[in-house]
Amino acid sequence: MGLDIYRPDGSVDPEKLTATASVTVAELGSALGFRSVSDIPPDRPRELLEIITLAAPWAGSAPQAFTWYRSQAIPSFGDRAAELLKDGRSEALKQHLKRIGQGGYA
């Protein structure tokens, strides 16, 4: 995922993120817990991009990582990955994904 996904101010452009993850704007808003992309706080797309970037190497691609994010239950957290981000627990999820990326167990 290249730098073209960022705006000049350094924030993630949600519409470019949707193209990278091969999802609609509505799906992105829903995945982040918002009805409209305009309601999404600026930090959420960046957090989602970080999560997708961490999951993509073993998920196969950015779209597959997004699918994993929306559907995968993580037993040690008791939630789906998407619920962790919505609940403000993205750091815990990112640490979990880093462990997986280093060959650790889920």
Task: Write the pLDDT tens digit of every residue in 19-55.
Answer: 888 888 888 888 888 877 778 887 888 888 899 889 9
Stretch 80-101: mean pLDDT = 86
For residue 90, is it within any domain?
A: yes
Percent of the chain at pLDDT above 70?
93
Domain residues for the domain of 24 are 3-101
For residue 53, is it within any domain?
A: yes
Number of domains in the chain: 1
Question: What is the structure's pLDDT at 99?
Answer: 86
The overall average pLDDT reported for the chain is: 83
Half-sphere exposure (Cβ direction) of 49: Cα atoms closer than 13 Å: 22
> Where residue 64 falls among pLDDT bands split at 50, 70, 90?
very high
Q: Which of 66, 64, 61, 59 has the alpha carbon at shortest distance from 45?
A: 66
For residue 49, is it within any domain?
A: yes
For residue 106, is it within any domain?
A: no
pTM here is: 0.76
Rounded to whole angstroms, the Cα distance separating 96 from 102 reads 10
